């Protein structure tokens, strides 16, 4: 069965171009296009979509209001496609925090050419969002609110490659050499490396506020476009007892501090004189991502070894799985988020398959594991 997609955007050009681009895919079917959420709700009474492509700024009802209503009444995978995503990162992050699963930016001018050139990104985002259907159905079943419309026939499970197939898939070798297998010794602070993707905004907003002001230092890669990570870090900083900031080159990893990789840059952890700091660098996509979890995890395996804890969480694809295995082989404690609490059980699933995880833990248990840091008594 194809993925049934509804497009909600007040621009006729966007509705037309997105419909045309999606119509070229054999596994995607556009079942309708609406100029605003009011029209969309009428269309959804006829057939419920598997994924909604949603603008934010629209007449009669804005996208955020519609998204919150949708997630409260009948959670459905949503990909944000809006020009506000470039100049209004805070609004877009509110959308992600409210349940949207992906972001596609579009410029204020040259929209047609942009959407045609970036259609592969939108298609990948739609497929990744669809992969979260099962988790969102679980959330819906837990809700006491009546649905907006009668339940649609469940879609058959499907599997997709969500990465851009036109570019080679590079490994962390493109950035730094593999660990040499020599254990890291010496008394240093414990550090925690976290890799996360689809569903990460909601997950990090749940776990980071639970950490104490004296928790181990965290280095975090959240797959997110440029210009959003600074706003995301600032948002988290207002919610947490720890300091949360977008990482800058040579920032120190300190207890009670979380550093988030800037969008479009790789984040590496280094060690000097018994202390840890970060490098923020350019470079090619690794595992088709920049920042890449594999790059972060490998750097931690090389410089921290048994002094580290690696945590891989909700996300599509396999970025971070190999890096987590390298951390485990270097003596680090490692944790993968369990399927039940993941929005998308892709990255953790691959890490578990590779034997990279000491523990498989629910989202609610992860803050406690982070507080314990890199203690090797974490059971295998």
List residues with catalytic annotation: 197, 223, 319
CA atoms within 13 A on the CB side of 368: 7
Burial environment of residue 99 by CB neighbours within 10 A (0 to 12, 13 to 18, 19 or more) = buried
Instruction: Look up tokens 């419920």; give the residue.
Output: 48
CA atoms within 13 A on the CB side of 98: 23
300 in Cβ contact with 270 (< 8 Å): no
59 in Cβ contact with 65 (< 8 Å): no
Give the C-alpha separation, 117 to 303, whole Å. 40
23 in Cβ contact with 48 (< 8 Å): no
Straight-line distance from the first to the last Cα atom of the chain, in angstroms, rounded to the nearest whole number? 40
């Amino acid at each position: 069965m194809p993925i049934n997609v509804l497009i909600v955007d007040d621009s006729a050009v966007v509705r037309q171009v997105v419909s045309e681009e999606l119509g070229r895919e054999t596994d995607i079917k556009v079942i309708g296009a609406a100029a605003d959420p009011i029209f969309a709700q009428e269309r959804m009474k006829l057939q419920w979509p598997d994924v909604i492509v949603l603008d934010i700024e629209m007449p009669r009802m804005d996208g955020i209001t519609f998204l919150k209503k949708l997630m409260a009444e009948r959670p459905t995978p949503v990909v944000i496609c809006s020009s506000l995503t470039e100049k209004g990162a805070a609004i877009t992050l509110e959308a992600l925090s409210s349940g949207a699963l992906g972001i596609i930016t579009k410029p204020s001018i040259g929209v047609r050419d942009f959407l045609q050139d970036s259609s592969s990104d939108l298609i990948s985002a739609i497929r990744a969002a669809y992969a979260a259907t099962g988790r969102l159905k679980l959330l819906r079943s837990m809700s006491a609110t009546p649905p907006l419309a009668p339940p649609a026939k469940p879609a058959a499970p499907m599997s997709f490659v969500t990465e851009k197939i036109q570019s080679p898939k590079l490994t962390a070798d493109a950035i730094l050499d593999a660990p040499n297998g020599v254990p890291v010794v010496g008394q240093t602070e414990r550090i925690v490396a976290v890799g996360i993707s689809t569903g990460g905004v909601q997950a990090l907003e749940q776990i980071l506020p639970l950490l104490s002001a004296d928790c181990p230092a965290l280095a975090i890669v959240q797959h997110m476009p440029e210009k959003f990570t600074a706003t995301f870090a600032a948002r988290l900083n207002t919610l947490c007892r720890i300091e949360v900031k977008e990482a800058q080159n040579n920032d120190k990893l300190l207890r009670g501090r979380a550093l988030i990789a800037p969008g479009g840059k790789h984040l590496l952890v280094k060690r000097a004189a018994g202390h840890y700091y970060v490098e923020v660098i350019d470079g090619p996509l690794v595992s088709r991502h920049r920042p890449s979890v594999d790059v972060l995890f490998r750097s931690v395996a090389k410089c921290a070894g048994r002094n580290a804890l690696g945590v891989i969480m909700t996300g599509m694809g396999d970025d971070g799985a190999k890096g987590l295995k390298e951390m485990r082989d270097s003596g680090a404690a490692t944790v993968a988020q369990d399927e039940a609490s993941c929005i998308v059980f892709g990255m953790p699933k691959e890490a578990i398959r590779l034997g990279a995880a000491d523990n498989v833990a629910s989202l609610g248990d992860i803050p406690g594991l982070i507080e314990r840091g890199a203690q090797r008594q974490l059971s295998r």
